[in-house]
A and B are shown apart, each in its own frame.
Chain A
Amino acid sequence: MAIDINKVETIIGEHGKDENDLIQAMLAIQEEFHYLPPEALEKISEQLNVPMIRIYQVAAFYKVFSLEPRGKHIITVCNGTACHVRGSSMLVDQVDRVLKIGPGETTEDLQFTLEEVNCLGCCAIGPVMTIDNKYYGNMSVSKVERVINKYVEKEVVADD
């Protein structure tokens, strides 16, 4: 997958100037592309003057980073304690049944990625699921497919 290298340079320029800014620059790249493309990491290495081995070390350590391309839509199921006792693992199972992806996996058409997160801090309205940073509170197994379909349908409309 080709990426816009000019965009990468602009993002790095906005978020970092030296090695201290490594994580912040990587977060911005991740935010833009939903993963860390190798070309972008090489640019970071060059512009912030950090060896590639340290960049891969950071990428492997922090949970938010992905070295693999991820879906256009990111589904996050909160598995914080409050959501857990209210049955969040059933939501994960249901997403798996609907889209055939487990936590950390991406659909073959690169439309959806499923992730589990420790806590989104919406414990009072758990279990909580988000798609592309839109929050869905008081979720239940029976609502999962309906919510996901909103994003599938949007796609069809856009293609027409």
Chain B
Amino acid sequence: MTEQITPVELEKQRNHILSARDASKPTIMVCGGTGCLALESDKVAEALKKAIQDQGVDAKVELKTTGCPGFCEQGPLVVVHPEKIFYTHVKPKDAKDIISETITNGKVVDRLLYTDPITEKKVLYEQDIPFYKQQTRVLLKNSGIIDPEKIEDYIAVDGYKAVSKALFEMTSEQVLEEVKKANLRGRGGAGFPAAIKWELCRKEKSDQRYIICNADEGDPGAFQDRGIIEGNPHSILEGMILGAYAIGASKGYIYIRHEYPLAVKMIKQAIVQAREYGFLGNNILGSDFSFDLEVQLGAGAFVCGEETAMMASVEGRVGEPRTRPPYPAQKGLWGKPTNINNTKTWAWVPHIINNGADWFASIGNEKNRGTMIFSLVGKVNNTGLVEVPMGISIHDLIEGIGGGVPKGRKLKAVQTGGPSGGCIPESMFDLPMDYDSLREAGSIMGSGGVIVMDEDTCMVDVARYFLEFCKFESCGKCNACREGVKRMWEIVDYISRGYGEEGDIELLEELAHAVKIGSLCGLGQTAPNPVLTTIKYFRDEYEAHIRDKTCPAGVCKALITFEIIADNCPGCTLCARYCPVEAISGEKGKPHVIDESICIRCGVCRDVCNYNAVVVR
């Protein structure tokens, strides 16, 4: 495909791709997302390929490597379409059976099926698994179905239909109006209406406007942007083309973390393919609209997620934020009007143009429309990417989809919004997950990371962790952030080591206030949130550290001791062999003991013990 195609030819192409396919032919989808790859799904795909050849069923089945279907906990995932038979924890040695049983004999390989942890029953199909059953998948719908390396797969699922519709049936004002009517709010965390930002940029008089896709997903614990880009990169390009048309921009950048090598590869490949097809470049689809895209890699600086810092970084400079106004819409990249939106915001645009603002408004609640993708991680049974309507309660998200906390531990809190967010206690789990409710509770939506914490998580340690993060990531431009966050970290660190004093909590609150009002950008303004919310909801834990010098969750090293329960210990000697300081002694076959004076509380013994004999006091 080298010649540019028109909308009519695009439809012809689509029909051609679809007619060449047999919908009833079994297709084996192997997840090739970073999560499953880490569990060696590439070897599973190779084994399946070999098994297909060995058993001579090439003509009967198709094999595809897809993006992430989201249920990373159960990886490597293999799904057999069209029925969507869902195989979990697949190993290369299982490939032979999948081909001989499922493909040739039409039977299910029982041992690979998902077992519901609550009912303990095996579940056959993807759509019946509780994790999927309660989701509303729009943005993630095609991840796990299409091969992200093939533009034809995207075209087959109505890809670039919205571009063709917008360029030939709608004016740029109409595209903008549709997105405005939908009230699509920015998915980066703050929830600012996207079309309002677009309009500001469009109204600025200039010979050149730019747009940027913020894929600098820096929040630890969030990976939805990575999931979309790895699984469906063309959906981002299509959204950006539509946005550029509405705004009147001719050049766009995708700013993506270098820590996501697979996503970088996918998006770069997608851009090359889109250019070949004429979706990017001069006179897109034969219209008079021209637009092109470039990928810019981040170099590992969290602050570059802030829009003015990101623009500085795109220009090849140090990523320090600057004062606003002027806003990027007025003076952005190289002084020209610029519009920045999050990956998920861009991904929504094609759906809104295809299905209309009213359809979009029918999902979610009044002020928070559409779905949100959460990365459900931490101490929860079903971890992975979850797409649900805005406003779902925390309880439904964690218990319903997440399947609760593993090992029968007690749920304690969730952390949302990354280092800018806060911790919400279990007593408030009726709270709807939307921009406004989370902000009222002292946290934020952020980019959608939801980290579940159980009774073994120490809230002082969590606050210390986020302060350490912000201390390291502060760019150093503002005094309040550079010095204030460091002092807050020192105080919390002292508390966690048993040196806390009366008055420390009040001092932290005062400092938090100063850092909030004295910082230029979002990083400093929100850095105190994890401390403030943990103090607000878990003050007793701080007090236990300060007054009683104990860590109730058994995390803070200086305040705990490890002990071996003699009754549980069969004397396997494993812990003694792993102990780095030789603090564990005992004869083989007899209970061991830990010498507290030597122990450095590294926890290796508890980690390696197969008998749950090591406990923390």
Taking Cβ atoms with an 8 Å cutoff, the residues of A that contact B are 19-24, 26-27, 50, 54, 57-58, 61-65, 79-82, 84-87, 90, 93-94, 97, 117-126, 128, 133, 135-138, 140-142
Cα–Cα distance between A73 and B138 once the two chains are bound (Å):
40
**Distance in Å from the Cβ of B334 to the closest Cβ of chain A?**
8
**A61-B220 contact, Cβ under 8 Å, with A23-B299, A94-B604, A142-B578:** no
**Distance in Å from the Cβ of B525 to the closest Cβ of chain A?**
19
**Distance in Å from the Cβ of B143 to the closest Cβ of chain A?**
14
Contact B301 A62 (CB under 8 A): yes
Q: Which residues of B contact A136 (CB under 8 A)?
A: 38
Contact of B300 among A62, A82, A85, A140 (CB under 8 A): A62
Contact A82 B220 (CB under 8 A): yes
Q: Chain A CB within 10 Å — which of B221, B260, B261, B578 has the most? A: B221
Q: Which residues of B contact A122 (CB under 8 A)?
A: 34-35, 38, 72, 223
Q: Does B234 contact A (CB under 8 A)?
A: no
Q: Can you name the residue of chain B whose Cβ is closest to the Cβ of A118?
A: B220
A–B pairs, 6, beta carbons within 8 Å:
A23-B297, A63-B299, A63-B300, A118-B218, A121-B226, A123-B449
Cα–Cα distance between A133 and B466 once the two chains are bound (Å):
26
Chain B 402-439 per-residue mask, 1 if CB under 8 angstroms from chain A, else 0 = 00000000000001001000000000000000000000
Stretch with Cβ within 8 A of A (4 or more), from B157-165, B166-174, B371-379, B586-594: B371-379
Q: Does B259 contact A (CB under 8 A)?
A: yes
Taking Cβ atoms with an 8 Å cutoff, the residues of B that contact A are 34-35, 37-39, 72-73, 75, 217-223, 226, 258-261, 296-297, 299-302, 313-319, 375-379, 383-384, 415, 418, 449, 451, 453, 457, 462, 465-466, 469, 473, 475, 578, 580, 602-604, 607-608
Contact A82 B221 (CB under 8 A): yes
Apart from A57-B318, A121-B226, what 12 extra A-B contacts exist at CB < 8 Å?
A19-B316, A23-B297, A23-B313, A61-B475, A62-B301, A82-B378, A85-B462, A117-B300, A120-B34, A123-B377, A124-B35, A125-B72
Q: Which residues of A contact B73 (CB under 8 A)?
A: 124-125
Q: Which residues of B contact A140 (CB under 8 A)?
A: 607-608
**Distance in Å from the Cβ of A119 to the closest Cβ of chain B?**
4
Contact A119 B319 (CB under 8 A): no
Q: Which residues of B contact A80 (CB under 8 A)?
A: 220-221
Q: Can you name the residue of chain A whose Cβ is closest to the Cβ of B217?
A: A121
Contact of A123 among B259, B375, B608 (CB under 8 A): B375
Q: Which residues of B contact A21 (CB under 8 A)?
A: 316
Cα–Cα distance between A90 and B605 once the two chains are bound (Å):
11
Contact B39 A90 (CB under 8 A): no
Cα–Cα distance between A126 and B296 once the two chains are bound (Å):
28
Contact of A81 among B261, B313, B319, B378 (CB under 8 A): B378
Contact of A142 among B219, B377, B608 (CB under 8 A): B608
Contact of B301 among A22, A26, A61, A138 (CB under 8 A): A61
**Distance in Å from the Cβ of B231 to the closest Cβ of chain A?**
13
Contact B299 A81 (CB under 8 A): no
Cα–Cα distance between A23 and B296 once the two chains are bound (Å):
9
Q: Which residues of A contact B37 (CB under 8 A)?
A: 135
Contact B607 A123 (CB under 8 A): no
Q: Which residues of B contact A117 (CB under 8 A)?
A: 259, 300
Q: Can you name the residue of chain A whose Cβ is closest to the Cβ of B379?
A: A85
Q: Which residues of A contact B317 (CB under 8 A)?
A: 22, 54, 58
Contact of B580 among A97, A124, A125, A126 (CB under 8 A): A97
Cα–Cα distance between A121 and B73 once the two chains are bound (Å):
13
Q: Which residues of A contact B415 (CB under 8 A)?
A: 81
Cα–Cα distance between A118 and B469 once the two chains are bound (Å):
8
Contact A64 B258 (CB under 8 A): yes
Q: Which residues of B contact A141 (CB under 8 A)?
A: 578, 603-604, 607-608
Cα–Cα distance between A86 and B73 once the two chains are bound (Å):
14
Contact B316 A123 (CB under 8 A): no
Interface SS, B side: mixed
Q: Can you name the residue of chain A whose Cβ is closest to the Cβ of B302?
A: A118
Q: Can you name the residue of chain B whose Cβ is closest to the Cβ of A145?
A: B578
Q: Which residues of A contact B453 (CB under 8 A)?
A: 85
Cα–Cα distance between A93 and B601 once the two chains are bound (Å):
11
Cα–Cα distance between A67 and B35 once the two chains are bound (Å):
31
Q: Which residues of A contact B418 (CB under 8 A)?
A: 81
Contact of A65 among B220, B299, B319 (CB under 8 A): B299
**Distance in Å from the Cβ of A19 to the closest Cβ of chain B?**
6
Q: Which residues of B contact A128 (CB under 8 A)?
A: 38
Contact A119 B219 (CB under 8 A): yes
Q: Which residues of B contact A123 (CB under 8 A)?
A: 221-223, 375, 377-378, 383, 449, 451
Contact A121 B465 (CB under 8 A): no
Contact A135 B38 (CB under 8 A): yes
Q: Which residues of B contact A121 (CB under 8 A)?
A: 34, 217, 222-223, 226, 259-260
Q: Which residues of A contact B316 (CB under 8 A)?
A: 19-24, 50, 58
Q: Can you name the residue of chain A whose Cβ is closest to the Cβ of B468?
A: A79
**A85-B259 contact, Cβ under 8 Å, with A27-B297, A135-B37:** no
**Distance in Å from the Cβ of B11 to the closest Cβ of chain A?**
36
Contact B38 A137 (CB under 8 A): yes
Cα–Cα distance between A126 and B451 once the two chains are bound (Å):
12
Q: Which residues of B contact A118 (CB under 8 A)?
A: 218, 220, 302, 469, 473
Cα–Cα distance between A87 and B555 once the two chains are bound (Å):
10
**Distance in Å from the Cβ of A47 to the closest Cβ of chain B?**
13
Contact A64 B223 (CB under 8 A): no
**Distance in Å from the Cβ of A114 to the closest Cβ of chain B?**
16
**Distance in Å from the Cβ of B469 to the closest Cβ of chain A?**
7
Q: Which residues of A contact B223 (CB under 8 A)?
A: 119, 121-123
Which 6 residue pairs across A and B have the least CB separation, nearest first?
A124-B72, A135-B38, A121-B223, A80-B220, A62-B299, A63-B300
**A27-B378 contact, Cβ under 8 Å, with A121-B260, A142-B607:** no
Q: Which residues of B contact A65 (CB under 8 A)?
A: 299
Contact B259 A119 (CB under 8 A): yes
**Distance in Å from the Cβ of A99 to the closest Cβ of chain B?**
13
Q: Which residues of B contact A138 (CB under 8 A)?
A: 39
Contact of B38 among A50, A86, A125 (CB under 8 A): A125
Cα–Cα distance between A61 and B473 once the two chains are bound (Å):
10
Cα–Cα distance between A54 and B73 once the two chains are bound (Å):
44
**Distance in Å from the Cβ of A29 to the closest Cβ of chain B?**
12
Cα–Cα distance between A65 and B296 once the two chains are bound (Å):
16
Contact of A82 among B34, B38, B451, B473 (CB under 8 A): B451
Q: Can you name the residue of chain B whose Cβ is closest to the Cβ of A138?
A: B39
Cα–Cα distance between A95 and B587 once the two chains are bound (Å):
28
**Distance in Å from the Cβ of A74 to the closest Cβ of chain B?**
12
**Distance in Å from the Cβ of B448 to the closest Cβ of chain A?**
12
Contact A85 B451 (CB under 8 A): yes
Q: Which residues of B contact A135 (CB under 8 A)?
A: 34, 37-38
Cα–Cα distance between A32 and B260 once the two chains are bound (Å):
17
